[in-house]
A and B are shown apart, each in its own frame.
Chain A
Amino acid sequence: MTHPQSEAELADFIAGAKGPLQIQGGNTRGVVLDGDVVSTRGLSGVTLYEPGALTLVVQAGTPVAEVEALLASENQQLAFEPMDHRLLMHTQGEPTMGGVFAANISGPRRIQAGAARDFLLGVRFVDGQGQVLRNGGRVMKNVTGYDLVKLMAGAHGTLGVLSEVSLKVLPTPETTATVTVRDLDLAKGIAALSAALGSPFDVTGASYDPQVRTAYVRLQGFEASVRYRAEALTKILGQLGSVEVLTDCADLWRGIRDVASLAGQPGDVWRISVKPTDAVALIPALGATQVLCDWGGGLIWALMPAGRDLRASMTVPGHATLVRAAEGTVLPRHHPEPAPLARLAAGLRAQFDPRGILNPGLMG
């Protein structure tokens, strides 16, 4: 395992690499690939934080926890609410900022605030030849040249190793409340979420748990405003089931974010992204042991019997990622792409990593 202590050291190492490399932040997702491990943990620290401009620049190996603590001191937060994989994956380690962006990890607030990629303003990275490159910047609006920032977010390190990221942060809302609607079957549960998300009430979380037949709708903001909107939604959703408003709900949403309900159970865990209302027909067809819906139904976490290829039963547009493979499950992690897109992706990889040494095979 190599621990470069600076971007320059990282670049030298990659330039001189003779074979495949596995890029690691905290490795909380427990990915194992062939190749020498390169850790980004030596690249750590906050370069710049301007609360009045809502901007933060950090080295890629900086722990997420460190950033969240710093932001909390100014009443700000990572609005895309990145998931912590340790519970679900049963791993140790510290999630890093670089890892969060490389995998484009977003939690429940993604439906309202946007994904990790939407908050990423600029990147510095080292490509597969050991060249240091940069794109974007640290300002909130920037259309200067192509947006390689988006391309790097979600590339899982296969186009380059992130060394520094700049991002937009947001104020932490004053209050949070959750409108829960009970006794809902799947169709009604998703309908409740659609109704809430289609209202003017600025919903920041919309989850349905079939296990307990309950829909959860989160509201955040100034106290009086949250109260007002909770009342308004209670009226709308009360037509579907019995409604209760929870004010103490931080643990609930942390659990949804980290998929706590599927943790510790044997089997494969899949993450599916579909059009929200498609969840209604898709979920019964999956043959899953247990599921959890987030993003209004558009994000489905499914616990499946080990080794069963869930993609075979995906009859609707979207994609499925095998996030946690049980021992012995041999299935591709990422969803196979249609041929023309796969060709473009391969072309981009050939340009940024012509030797094919950065996390080879991770994305297929």
Chain B
Amino acid sequence: MEMPPPNAAILAQKAELLRQLGRVLPADAIISDLAETRAYECDALTAYRCPPMLAVLPRTTQEVSAVLRICHAMGVPVVPRGAGTSLAGGALPTADCVILGVARMNEVLDTDYDNRVIRVQTGRTNLSVSGAVEEDGFFYAPDPSSQLACAIAGNIAMNSGGAHCLKYGVTTNNLLGVTMVMMDGSVIEIGGAHLDAAGLDLLGVICGSEGQLGVVTEATLRILHKPEGARPVMIAFDSNEVAGACVSDIIKAGVLPVAIEFMDRPCIEACEAFAKAGYPMCEALLIVEVEGSEAEIAHQLHLIAEIARRHDPVELREAADAEEAARIWLGRKSAFGAMGQINDYMCLDGTIPVTELPLVLRRIGEMSEAFGLKVANVFHAGDGNMHPLILFDANKPGDLERCEAFGAEILKLCVEVGGCLTGEHGVGIEKRDLMLHQYGAADIEAQLRVKDVFDPTWLLNPAKVFPLSTTESRRTAGIAAA
């Protein structure tokens, strides 16, 4: 993945930049020596690394504003960072950038149960938002698997999803307002505890803009009362086709589970070897979770079992108690860890229309043979969001490149069948160069024009999301103007 070469003129200003930042930030909020900036050299897409020129860790919106004003005046690119768990390289630095990390901004500012909202600083981790309201029976619904580590800042920037988004939606459906600092240092407020914006839906376009439109420092989020209970059922099939048809029938029947997770044979085998969850050896495994009172759960599980039986499952296992429920989830939740044990892996994130599932899985299998790389599939089947995990060996020359080429072919296939390149991880640098497979040049240009409005000098996270060739003139003009 190519990144623009560092700008020597910017690097030459490092001392001056440090002097100016020193006037607006406490000393412990500025990180400038190489040994320490290395901590920010990558996110969870670890194949790409580059220490930034500097990193800053402000504690308030005012400090963020002061930092951006300085960087804007000096023409220094800024890469916002939450917890650095992006799988797309969204938080990858360039050598001439300032990393602006919001991790120290992690306060809960207001909790309001009557209106079912919480206001937080965006450096707060996803899980600790739920943690703040849990004792009172509430939770924040979007639950990325990385929720222990990832920050609301990154969730908003990537419009992150989670296992339960089939019922509760993704970040954008649960975000009511933000405080955002523009690249020139001005602070804007959008939305709040009321629903739906006046005027254009700016919040809608900010969510998912991958840190390119502004730095989000505070957010108002919707919270919900926890359901009375939840329970999964595990259903095993001897073909992907049949499992796919079963998913479709469950949805059509009007049962709306909170989650439908799908694992294929390579994934089941790896998870079983790693976590010993007691999964049957089969071609496809579904985990379907429903919520409600005891009776409601029983009723929905009964309906699901009825539908599943029509598809002649190899096995159907209902969780009788919490322990069994945990065991059913255990394998799925350790999928990434299990893969990590076997090998280095790359996690893809394309979405397909659910009806194309059997075709796509078959084609991925064929490609796996052609590329000589193993792949395991685990994904959110209810909404077609796939997570093929391609296994490779980072120490073997050429393997990473082969893996990336394979990944690109899978993503192109997702687009070909009517889906998209990324369902929840974002484009970052990883899928940047594939954007023209999904969108025409004019469709990309329309998106660039939105950035022109929010960040006319193109200093915020500039080398991401769009193919470099489509943004080059804007990036160079921006730096020249500053």
Encode contact with A along B244-255: 1 for CB under 8 Å, 0 otherwise: 000011011111
Pairs of residues from A and B, 5 with the lowest C-beta to C-beta distance, nearest first = A150-B204, A319-B198, A52-B248, A171-B254, A141-B423
A299 and B226: CB pair below 8 A? no
A228–B296 CB distance below 8 A: yes
Docked-complex contact B353 and A139, CB < 8 angstroms: yes
Contact B227 A200 (CB under 8 A): yes
Q: Are A143 and B158 in contact (CB under 8 A)?
A: yes
Which of A143, A295, A345 touches B199 (beta carbons < 8 Å)? A345
List B contacts of A148 (CB < 8 A). 205, 446-447, 450
- B465 within 8 A of partner (CB): yes
- In the assembled complex, which residues on chain A have CB atoms less than 8 Å from the CB atom of B384? 53, 139-141
Does A118 lie within 8 Å of B186, measured CB to CB? no
Q: With an 8 A cutoff between CB atoms, is A275 at the interface?
A: yes
User: Which residue of chain A is the closest to B229 with respect to CB atoms?
Assistant: A200
Q: In the complex the two chains form, is B201's CB within 8 Å of A200's CB?
A: no
Tell me whether B431 is interfacial, beta carbon within 8 Å.
yes
A50-B353, A199-B225 known; A147+B200 contact, CB < 8 A = no
Most buried by B among A194, A202, A334, A344: A344
A52 touches B116 (CB 8 A): no
B115 and A340: CB pair below 8 A? no
Taking the nearest CB of chain A, how far is it from the CB of B208, in angstroms?
5
In this complex, what residue of A is CB-closest to B294? Answer: A228
Q: How far is the CB of B306 from chain A (nearest CB, A)?
A: 13
Please pick, from B188, B354, B355, B438, the residue contacting A341 in the complex, using a CB distance under 8 A.
B188
* Distance between B207 CB and nearest chain A CB, rounded to angstroms: 7
Within 8 A of A (CB), among B242-271: 248-249, 251-256
Known contacts A54-B251, A148-B205; A139 and B423 CB within 8 A of each other: yes
A-B contacts, 20 listed (Cβ < 8 Å): A51-B252, A104-B201, A106-B196, A117-B201, A118-B172, A134-B443, A135-B446, A145-B444, A146-B205, A147-B159, A151-B201, A153-B201, A154-B200, A155-B200, A202-B292, A225-B295, A225-B299, A317-B192, A340-B186, A347-B453
Q: How far is the CA of A2 from the CA of B154 in the complex (A)?
A: 46
Which of these, B419, B439, B454, contacts A145 with CB under 8 Å? Answer: B439
Complexed CA–CA distance, A127 and B186 (Å): 29
Q: For residue B256, which residues in chain A have a CB less than 8 angstroms away from its CB?
A: 170-171
Option from B116, B253, B383, B427 in Cβ contact (under 8 Å) with A141: B383
Select from chain B the residue with minimum beta-carbon distance to A340.
B188
Partner of A151, one of B200, B249, B438: B200
Q: Which residues of A from 196 to 223 have beta carbons under 8 Å from B?
A: 197-200, 202, 221-222
Cβ-defined contact, B195 with A299, below 8 A: yes
B254 and A174 contact, CB distance less than 8 A: yes
Q: What is the CB-to-nearest-CB distance from B460 to chain A, in angstroms, rounded to a whole number?
A: 13
Return the CB mask of B297-311 against A: 1 if under 8 Å, else 0: 001100000000000
Determine how close the nearest CB of chain A comes to the CB of B69; give it in whole angstroms: 15
User: Which residues does chain B contribute within 8 Å of A318, judged by CB atoms?
Assistant: 192, 194
B209, B226, B255, B418: the one within 8 Å of A146 (CB):
B209
* Given contact pairs A133-B443, A141-B170, A222-B300, A298 touches B194 in the complex (Cβ within 8 A): yes
Contact code string A2-31 (vs B, CB < 8 Å = 1, else 0): 000000000000000000000000000000
CA distance A340 to B189 in the complex (A): 9
Cα of A208 to Cα of B158 in the assembled complex, Å: 37
Q: In the complex, A45→B292 CA distance in Å?
A: 38
- The answer to whether A143 and B424 touch across the interface, beta carbons within 8 angstroms, is yes
Which of B117, B137, B299, B446 is within 8 Å of A352, CB to CB?
B446
Chain A residue contacts of B138, Cβ below 8 A = 198
Whether, in the assembled complex, A356 has its beta carbon less than 8 Å from a beta carbon of chain B, the answer is no
A351, B449: Cβ atoms under 8 Å? yes
Nearest Cβ on chain A to B410's Cβ, whole angstroms:
14
Given contacts A139-B418, A174-B254, A345-B200, 19 further A-B contacts (CB under 8 A): A50-B353, A54-B251, A110-B195, A118-B169, A131-B442, A140-B383, A142-B420, A144-B438, A147-B205, A148-B446, A150-B205, A154-B200, A199-B225, A200-B227, A221-B296, A273-B198, A338-B188, A342-B199, A347-B452
Say if the beta carbon of B351 comes within 8 Å of chain A: yes
B161-A141 in contact (CB<8A):
yes
Decide yes or no whether A277 CB sits under 8 A from chain B.
Answer: yes
Tell me the bound Cα distance from A281 to B201 in angstroms. 27
Min CB gap A159→B, angstroms: 8
Closest to B188 in A: A340
| Residues of chain A in range 165-204 having any CB-CB distance to chain B below 8 Å | 170-174, 191, 194, 197-200, 202
Given known A137-B419, A153-B204, A341-B188, contact A50–B355 (CB-CB < 8 A):
yes
- Least CB separation from A160: chain B residue: B446
Q: What per-residue 1/0 map shows which CB atoms of B102-119 lie under 8 Å from chain A?
A: 000000000011111100
The answer, among A140, A319, A341, A364, for a CB contact under 8 Å with B202, is A341
Given contacts A115-B196, A154-B196, A337-B198, contact A141 B189 (CB under 8 A): no
B47 to A: closest C-beta gap in Å: 21
Query: Which A positions have Cβ atoms within 8 angstroms of B?
Result: 50-55, 74-75, 104, 106, 110-111, 114-115, 117-118, 127, 131-135, 137-151, 153-155, 159, 170-174, 191, 194, 197-200, 202, 221-222, 224-225, 228-229, 273-277, 295, 298-299, 317-319, 321, 334-335, 337-338, 340-342, 344-345, 347-348, 351-352, 363-364
Identity of the chain B residue whose Cβ is nearest the Cβ of A171 in the assembled complex: B254
State the CA gap A263–B72 with chains docked (Å).
Answer: 53
Q: Give the CA-CA distance A198 to B116 in the complex, in Å.
A: 7
With a cutoff of 8 Å between Cβ atoms, the chain B residues found around residue A364 in the complex are 199
Q: How far is A51 from B251 in the complex, measured between Cα atoms in Å?
A: 8
Say whether B183 faces chain A, with CB atoms less than 8 Å apart: no
* Minimum C-beta distance from A155 to chain B (A): 6
**Does chain A have a CB within 8 A of B239?**
no
When distances are taken between beta carbons in the complex, the residues of chain A under 8 Å from B116 are 197-198
Residues of B within 8 A of A150 (CB): 172, 201, 203-205, 207
B207→A345 contact, CB < 8 A: no
* B231 is an interface residue with CB less than 8 A from chain A: no
A337 to chain B, nearest CB (A): 5
Chain B positions 181 through 194: 1 when the CB is less than 8 Å from some CB of chain A, otherwise 0: 01000101110111
Q: Does B461 contact A (CB under 8 A)?
A: no
In the complex, B352 has a CB within 8 A of chain A: yes
Contacts of A299 in B (CB 8 A): 195
Q: Which residues of B contact A137 (CB under 8 A)?
A: 418-420, 438
From A54, A151, A194, B114 is in contact (CB under 8 Å) with A194
Of A174, A194, A321, which is in contact with the most chain B CB atoms at under 10 Å from its CB?
Answer: A194
Contacting residues, chain A, for B197 (C-beta < 8 A): 154, 319
**Docked CA distance A146–B213 (Å):** 10
Partner of A348, one of B200, B225, B226: B200
Chain A neighbourhood of B194, CB < 8 A: 273-275, 298, 317-319
- What separation, in Å, do the CA atoms of A14 and B254 have in the docked complex? 42
| A106 CB → nearest B CB, Å | 8
The reply to whether B420 and A144 form a contact with Cβ atoms under 8 Å apart is: yes
Q: Are A74 and B252 in contact (CB under 8 A)?
A: yes
Q: What separation, in Å, do the CA atoms of A142 and B422 have in the docked complex?
A: 6
CB distance from B94 to the nearest CB of A (A): 21
Q: How far apart sit A139 and B384, CA to CA, in the bound complex (Å)?
A: 7
With a cutoff of 8 Å between Cβ atoms, the chain A residues found around residue B61 in the complex are none
Contact digits for B412-431, partner A, Cβ 8 Å, 1 yes 0 no: 00000011111111110001
Are B198's CB and A348's CB within 8 A? no
Q: Quote the shortest CB–CB distance from B437 to chain A (angstroms).
A: 10
